[in-house]
Amino acid sequence: MKFSVHQSALLQLTQTVSKAVAVRTTKQVLTGILLEATEDTLRATAYDLELGIQDEIIADEQSGLRVEQPGAIVLPARYLSEVVRKLPLADVTVTIQNNYVAEIQSGQAQFHLHGIDAAEFPKLPLFHNAERIEIPSYSLKRLIQSTAFAAATSEVRPVLTGIHLQLENQHITFTATDALRLAVRTAALNSAENQNWNVILPSKSLTELAKILPDDDSLIQVQCTNTHSLFAVGSTLFYTRLIDGAYPDTSRIIPSQFRTEITLPTSDITNAIDRAVLIARDRDNNQVRFDVGADFVTISSSSAEIGNVAEQVGILQKTGDDLQIAFNGKNVLDALRTIQGEEVILRFNGANQPFIFQEEGEPSALQLISPVLTR
Amino acid sequence: MKFSVHQSALLQLTQTVSKAVAVRTTKQVLTGILLEATEDTLRATAYDLELGIQDEIIADEQSGLRVEQPGAIVLPARYLSEVVRKLPLADVTVTIQNNYVAEIQSGQAQFHLHGIDAAEFPKLPLFHNAERIEIPSYSLKRLIQSTAFAAATSEVRPVLTGIHLQLENQHITFTATDALRLAVRTAALNSAENQNWNVILPSKSLTELAKILPDDDSLIQVQCTNTHSLFAVGSTLFYTRLIDGAYPDTSRIIPSQFRTEITLPTSDITNAIDRAVLIARDRDNNQVRFDVGADFVTISSSSAEIGNVAEQVGILQKTGDDLQIAFNGKNVLDALRTIQGEEVILRFNGANQPFIFQEEGEPSALQLISPVLTR
């Protein structure tokens, strides 16, 4: 294998795939990046067996890619990225020599890195005849960002570390819950007629995917098999395995009737809880309290060692009873940060029942929070 | 005590002094910030008994300070800073209530923080009749930045964790060494006639000082007693204790004659060593090699697991013998980064003797490096 390419193009290629490089593993090949040069492309792949990212550069003026001899090699991701980052802003020539040694040459600098036979690199999952849909990038990003934070981080119930993706009637729904909070968002699709999906995707993988999704309406192609899904973002292919198991039926825990309903200015209530969390203690579940009166909500928290805080936020609209309720302030902040509109609706059924947040005029998303039971 | 002040002014005040707040201590009062309000100033002090920082706000339109009732209190630094940072961009009113509780009020938000009696806060050292000099800020900053990194980080020989400050003949010299490298820089002073100082200042404290020194020629007042020094940077007072002990006589280890002398382009050699360090291993003292030939220096490093790198840098001027020498690449990078000029002079006495770096045309500073002895 031998190719030349602009330093900046090679750097971007290695950085794009590096999120899928295995960090803790005994299989050395998984800590590497597979580089494959064909006549007119250079392709890079990283795959830790859960998440796989593949991208490629086309031979053109912008990339400066010229492949002299096709071939493939696995190079250690950490050193490849660091070496490429520190090379001069000029053309880089990579040549594979005997014994899987890569010579990386740029300007006066000449590196030799020990590589591994490309045949040892695991194969990415295949997607022949897989079901596929298309979804605008900003819409997919919002689905992920509105739900992924609510997934469980502990592995006690592996399905809860995932996001439940359901597709039916040309609507796609993302659901995540860690059993104390629940986040749901739905989006309508133009494609996907007669398709029904019901899969669980690792929330960590989707969080990484969200980072590379552009904030525009470019269409992301999503494919799904029984074991894996594949997202195509421009030239970047993003593979993730599915989580095995049955996702709990969360629809039953969302109440349909409420005893109290209030509308608040999103930024006022977010800032007030942000301040209240400063005083709330981790070991006390970051406990923050709401006292819903006639015209104001009083947000408060206290800690024996530090002190206390109280703040009033004016209620824009209210129906139903007054209420006192305590909750994990950090979870509520996460929920509030998914709301882009200026007004948020909170719906309660008393101090000991889950309550929900919804953006005013946006019924397609919902955040549910279990209260902290108080003495 | 009761005062009002703009949130931004209070935030800046608490952030300025926060570097001197004790982190690991059993004395709770040292984790606090002392706030003292007089009729027309608000003063903040943090002091971990090694480093002390004091700053103040004057009552004027910019700060928005209005003191209604003078007084003093110690408030927990961590919570005070976080609370002030998250307050609205508006006026903040601080009122001390009974039992050392501070009420912090801004907009609708009202915090109560548990404080400590100001009488428990340690007194800053006194500087009555102390010797004093003045030095331009950029000059002091350069003295620190050219030397502090070379001080020892281990406490085995406490004096080596300091910077040796010598003042005589209206010249101030900073010296630091960790026994493997030595950094020296001298600056001429316009003041300080007939003054002789010979003190050791903690390098960590001076590194913090350098961060707040402006890059201009404003004059910094420096005072010294037998136990402490004091730097006045605008309204900020920066106190540090001196390190007890005798600093080693480092002048004797700086050679005056050399067998090889070469001039190199600073950026080329810096970049080449930066790349070579990527392959060098920590456990191998980050070993990088120089091979000084007739027209080129070859910079190289290698590691059995990773690979190797070699790069040539053209020599601008040379006198004396060819040479091969090995050194700790990270130490040499630190030394090279103190050099602002385009050309650097390297002077050697063979493979087993210390070598020095000096900026072309800048004899007032010197970096000395012990080689790694090779088999």
Query: What residues of B are in contact with residue A278 (Cβ under 8 Å)?
Result: 79, 82-83, 86
CA distance A43 to B282: 32
CATH number at residue A337: 3.70.10.10
- Asked if the model's pLDDT at residue B36 lies above 80, the reply is yes
- Per-residue pLDDT, averaged over B61-66, amounts to 97
Cβ of A111 within 8 Å of Cβ of B307? The answer is: yes
Query: What residues of A are in contact with residue B96 (Cβ under 8 Å)?
Result: none
- Per-residue pLDDT, averaged over A335-358, amounts to 96
Do the domain assignments include residue A375? no
| Among candidate residues B231, B251, B271, the one where a domain is terminated | B251
| Among candidate residues A120, A140, A163, the one where a domain is terminated | A120
- Per-residue pLDDT, averaged over B272-281, amounts to 95
Nearest residue of A to residue B115, measured between CA atoms: A306
**Do B239 and B144 belong together in one domain?**
yes
Q: What is the pLDDT of residue A145?
A: 98
Cβ of B307 within 8 Å of Cβ of A113? The answer is: yes
Give chain B's mean pLDDT.
96
pLDDT bin (cut points 50, 70, 90) of residue B237 is very high
- Asked if the model's pLDDT at residue A374 lies above 80, the reply is no
Instruction: State pLDDT tens for residues A50-106.
Output: 999 999 999 999 999 999 999 999 999 999 999 999 999 999 999 999 899 999 999
- Asked if the model's pLDDT at residue A282 lies above 90, the reply is no
Q: What is the pLDDT of residue B279?
A: 95
ipTM for the whole complex: 0.89
**Do A108 and A193 belong together in one domain?**
no
Instruction: State pLDDT tens for residues A13-49.
Output: 999 999 999 998 999 999 999 999 999 999 999 999 9
Q: What is the pLDDT of residue B375?
A: 55
Residues of A near B (Cβ–Cβ under 8 Å) read: 76, 79, 82-83, 86-88, 101-102, 107-114, 271-272, 274-275, 278-279, 305-313
**Do B314 and B267 belong together in one domain?**
yes
% chain B with pLDDT above 70 = 99
**Do B277 and B222 belong together in one domain?**
no
CATH number at residue B198: 3.10.150.10
Which of A78, A85, A99, A278 best probes binding to B when mutated, by most B CB atoms within 10 angstroms?
A278
Which of A5-9, A337-341, B129-133 has the lowest average pLDDT?
B129-133
**Do A219 and A176 belong together in one domain?**
yes
**Do B103 and B60 belong together in one domain?**
yes
Query: What residues of B are in contact with residue A308 (Cβ under 8 Å)?
Result: 111-112
Instruction: State pLDDT tens for residues B99-121.
Output: 999 999 999 999 999 999 999 99
**Do B259 and B365 belong together in one domain?**
yes
Query: What residues of B are in contact with residue A275 (Cβ under 8 Å)?
Result: 83, 86-87, 109, 111
Do the domain assignments include residue B375? no
Do the domain assignments include residue A236? yes
Give chain A's mean pLDDT.
96
Do the domain assignments include residue B125? no
Instruction: State pLDDT tens for residues A147-195.
Output: 999 999 998 999 999 999 999 999 999 999 999 999 999 999 988 788 8
- Per-residue pLDDT, averaged over B60-69, amounts to 97
**Do B10 and B113 belong together in one domain?**
yes
Going by C-beta distance under 8 Å and a sequence separation of 6 or more, which residues neighbour residue B118?
B34, B36, B72, B73, B74
**Do A239 and A324 belong together in one domain?**
no
Q: What is the pLDDT of residue B191?
A: 81
Nearest-CA distance A103 → chain B (Å)? 9
pLDDT bin (cut points 50, 70, 90) of residue B373 is confident
**Do B235 and B324 belong together in one domain?**
no
Do the domain assignments include residue B301? yes
Domain count, chain B: 3
Which of B281, B306, B315, B333 best probes binding to A when mutated, by most A CB atoms within 10 angstroms?
B306
Q: What is the pLDDT of residue B281?
A: 83
Please tell me which residue, B282 or A204, carries the higher pLDDT value. Answer: A204
| Among candidate residues B207, B236, B251, the one where a domain is terminated | B251
pLDDT bin (cut points 50, 70, 90) of residue B129 is confident
- Asked if the model's pLDDT at residue A302 lies above 90, the reply is yes
Q: What is the pLDDT of residue A375?
A: 56
Q: What is the pLDDT of residue B99?
A: 92
Domain that holds residue A324: 254-369
**Do B245 and B259 belong together in one domain?**
no
CA distance B204 to B321: 40
Do the domain assignments include residue A35? yes
Q: What is the pLDDT of residue B204?
A: 96
**Do B215 and B276 belong together in one domain?**
no
**Which of B108, B308, B311 lies at the smallest CB-CB distance from A112?**
B308
Query: What residues of A are in contact with residue B114 (Cβ under 8 Å)?
Result: 305-307
